[in-house]
Amino acid sequence: MSELIHTELGAHLARAKAFQAEAADRSPTWVNTLRRQAADAVDALRFPTTRDEDWRFTNIRPLAQTAFASAGEAVVTASDLDALRLSQFGGMRLVFVNGRFAPELSDDVSPAKATIGNLASLIDTHTELIEPHLTAHVPFKDDFFAALNTAFLDDGAFIHLKKGALVDSTIHLMFVTVAGETAVATHPRVLIVAEAGSQARIVETYHTLGEGVTFTNPVRELVAAQDAIIDYSTAQDESRDAFHVGGTHLELGRNTVVTANTMTLNGGIVRNNLTARLNGEHANASLHGMYLPGDGQLFDNHTLIEHADFDADSREVYKGILDGTGRAVFHGRILVQRKAQETDSLQTNNNLLLSDDARVNTKPQLEIYADQVKCSHGATIGQLDADSLFYLRSRGISASEARNLLIDAFAAEILDDVKVEPLQTQLKQALSDWLGRR
């Protein structure tokens, strides 16, 4: 088994170096340097296994043993996109197919005081905005999947909000992987730079077209300057044959307000890594998540909220609904640095098991080095309340309707806080569809 893993990791590295040689002439020197450093990190780092504490409950050996090819060009039509869930939110949409920008499927109108486009075409013209931030907030030398993404750094989305920019319409980043006979891998990159006082709502979605094994390995960096207000949602709705390992890194400045929603609706093995660093006084971070694993699916959420400055607030609520042999992992860590006096932080993870075979491992964690703080955390794992079911049945409600009413009420705390109304509506419909299949 270890020989198979070693062989496939070597193939990843060989493909990365071949890509770097091909892309060298069309990329700035500093980008080529980043790619080489990342490839060296991939070579030096060990593929994570269940022997690593952060991966103890998530066995990704099937990912390591799968031979992936880099996803090539594919033909996708507007009607293909319209048939997908989570595809229409109004506003501006940028579409990426197999990791590459698809201008014919995207909107080309950028709001005032904002630059929104694909990274590959803007990296030369907006170097002064991109270079200081790209990879600055991602410790890729210590993170295998972030290093792998950076080794293949090519295209993705870049959003720059100028000082005081108020973007009224939703910005939708849509990533579609076309599956086929050969297992394919994509490594999307997203960089969002929000200057002082800017405001925007951003939705990022992941989808699969066709049948076959896919591996999506996105890395996202969001930098919010003083007084910025950003609502940022990611929703993963790929196929049951999909591997997905995503990294999100949020950097919050003084008086910023950032809401991050992480919704995992479908996939085979899905790992969401999210880090929020509150690096300015009075910063406010709200992290919400929902995950719906069923038979044979494993959804893992690892979060870190680092309070690095005075009087900042964070609220984190993740909820899971599990059925069949579905498995879930939640590991939420709150780190309060010595400087972060007057921190107010609350973390909650609740899980609802709809079958006797579903399983969840949850580990909320506090690490506090300041004296004057208000921090709490908790986790629950349980089944539907028998008394509530009996009450609803006694009012003439059928067993299935009663069950769905209680599940909807359980999920409402997460879904009702989604500020993009079309996304909220579609997520509620996705939950309804999920329950309808059970």
The whole-angstrom separation of Cα 409 and Cα 23 is: 50
Give per-residue pLDDT as tens, 97-111.
999 999 999 998 778
Question: What's the predicted TM-score (pTM) here?
Answer: 0.95
The whole-angstrom separation of Cα 110 and Cα 418 is: 24
pLDDT at 7: 52
**In the chain, where are the structural domains located?**
73-436
Cβ neighbours of residue 133 closer than 8 Å, sequence gap 6 or more: 191, 193, 221, 223
Which burial class, exposed, middle or buried, applies to 85 when counting CB atoms under 10 A from its CB (0-12, 13-18, 19+)? middle
pLDDT at 90: 85
Give per-residue pLDDT as tens, 138-152.
989 899 999 999 999
Judging by DSSP bridges, how do beta strands 269-278 and 242-252 pair with one another?
Answer: parallel
Which of the residues in the chain have pLDDT under 50?
A: 1-5
Residue 207's alpha-carbon distances to 180, 183, 191, in angstroms, are: 14, 15, 20
pLDDT at 276: 98
Cβ neighbours of residue 203 closer than 8 Å, sequence gap 6 or more: 89, 170, 171, 172, 173, 233, 234, 235, 420, 423
pLDDT at 9: 65
The backbone torsions φ and ψ at residue 36, rounded to the nearest 5 degrees and listed phi first, read -65, -40
pLDDT at 160: 97
pLDDT at 258: 98
The single-letter DSSP state of residue 166 is B
